[in-house]
Amino acid sequence: MGFKVAVAGATGNVGREMLNILSERGFPADEVVALASARSQGTEVSFGDRTLKVSNLENYDFSNTDICLMSAGGDVSKKYSPKIGAQGCVVIDNSSAWRYDADVPLIVPEVNPDAITQFTKRNIIANPNCSTAQLVVALKPLHDFAKIKRVVVSTYQSVSGAGKDGMDELFNQTRAVFVADPIENKKFTKRIAFNVIPHIDVFMEDGYTKEEWKVLAETKKMLDPKIKVTCTAVRVPVFIGHSESVNIEFENEISADQARDILREAPGCLVIDKHENGGYITPYECAGEDATYISRIREDATVENGLNIWVVSDNLRKGAALNAIQIAELLINRGLIKPRKQAA
């Protein structure tokens, strides 16, 4: 007997991708349920070659459901995830609501799989921020080899990270530029078409944004609290795929050639690094792909033991839906969860 899985936020960018990936990977589910707000009740979403009718999260009974993949925003997670967990259903939560709670493991399976056992405290496992997920996949094998001291990250984040409304805004503004219509900003604070915006999420007291803070807090929680991280997070007019320019300072010696060899062998990483025109990855090429791509691996001669790398991944997949499903697979493969119908 297989598992019963609910996808909450199934009509959104990440929820739809979760359904695609569950179907693509042949996830061991007997039943998959699509949930969203009352607005979407009764509408249909694709699941492989079938469609699923959307139910209302608000009145859904989780007592028979084994796993809830939650991606309906922070406020919905704050309200529902503890209640769902209390009904014995394990929540894999894509929002930032629970990531920093000491009783909630924050997991990237290639990085800190062993931390998953702590999930029983609340029955919630947090999925990291999209920029952090791809970053730690690339940093982990390098940290194991030469011990990272400090990381400087600049992100180039696609509009799909801001949900379906973010993608619509880029599309509509781009069209408006060509037909000379007025440009409307709703989702973003400034025009995103043919522009870049150095502001994601809210401002904090120290002048950094919450998105920038998430990258450092989550890298420390998953990889090593001793690593110093600083970040500038920027929204760019790309539909899917986050890119990152990453400067890394190590305690021990590591050459660009060694880093290339290590990353070639590392789980979840794919190195595309030829010193020629087009010998690197761009976000357009990584949309729909699972890997974290690494290009432009170079030594930084301005510090001792420094490297620069370029990291790109599909933010809806490794940055969200894929990682959540890999967490569910990790739970199953380690025997940490059994289908409840069978257990009863």
Which amino acids are annotated as binding site, given as ranges? 11-14, 39-40, 99, 157, 160-161, 182, 235, 315
Can residue 74 be called a binding residue for ligand A2P (CB under 6 A)?
no
DSSP secondary-structure letter at 183? P
Instruction: Report the residue closest to ligand A2P, judged by CB.
Output: 12
Q: Which residue in 68, 89, 242, 269 is the catalytic one?
A: 242
Q: Which residue in 68, 130, 231, 269 is the catalytic one?
A: 130
Taking the least distance from each CB to ligand A2P, the nearer of 165 and 253 is: 165
Can residue 57 be called a binding residue for ligand A2P (CB under 6 A)?
yes
Contact 272, 194 (CB under 8 A): no
Give the integer Cα–Cα distance in Å for 314 and 21.
13
DSSP secondary-structure letter at 87? T
Minimal distance, residue 73 CB to ligand A2P, in Å: 5
* SS3 category, 214: helix
Concerning whether 130 is annotated as a catalytic residue, the answer is: yes
Count, residues near ligand A2P per rule CB under 6 A: 17
Taking the least distance from each CB to ligand A2P, the nearer of 55 and 219 is: 55
Give the integer Cα–Cα distance in Å for 149 and 228.
6
Minimal distance, residue 39 CB to ligand A2P, in Å: 4
Amino acid at 232: T
The interface region with ligand A2P, picked from 10-18, 25-33, 209-217, 227-235 by CB under 6 A, is 10-18
Give the integer Cα–Cα distance in Å for 30 and 165.
32
Residues of the binding site for NADP(+): 11-14, 39-40, 160-161, 182, 315
Taking the least distance from each CB to ligand A2P, the nearer of 143 and 242 is: 242
| Overall size of the chain counted in residues | 344
| Residue selected from 164, 191, 199, 296 as contacting ligand A2P according to rule CB under 6 A | 164
What single string gives the DSSP state of each residue in 100-142? T-TTS-B--TTT-GGGGGGGGGTTEEEPPPHHHHHHHHHHHHH
Minimal distance, residue 6 CB to ligand A2P, in Å: 11
Give the integer Cα–Cα distance in Å for 178 and 60.
45
Contact 30, 22 (CB under 8 A): no
Residues ≥6 apart with Cβ < 8 Å to 73 = 9, 95
Can residue 95 be called a binding residue for ligand A2P (CB under 6 A)?
no
Give the integer Cα–Cα distance in Å for 74 and 81.
10
The interface region with ligand A2P, picked from 72-80, 138-146, 265-273, 305-313 by CB under 6 A, is 72-80
Residues involved in catalysis: 130, 242
User: Binding residues for ligand A2P, per CB under 6 A?
Assistant: 9-13, 15, 36-37, 39-40, 57, 72-73, 76, 163-165
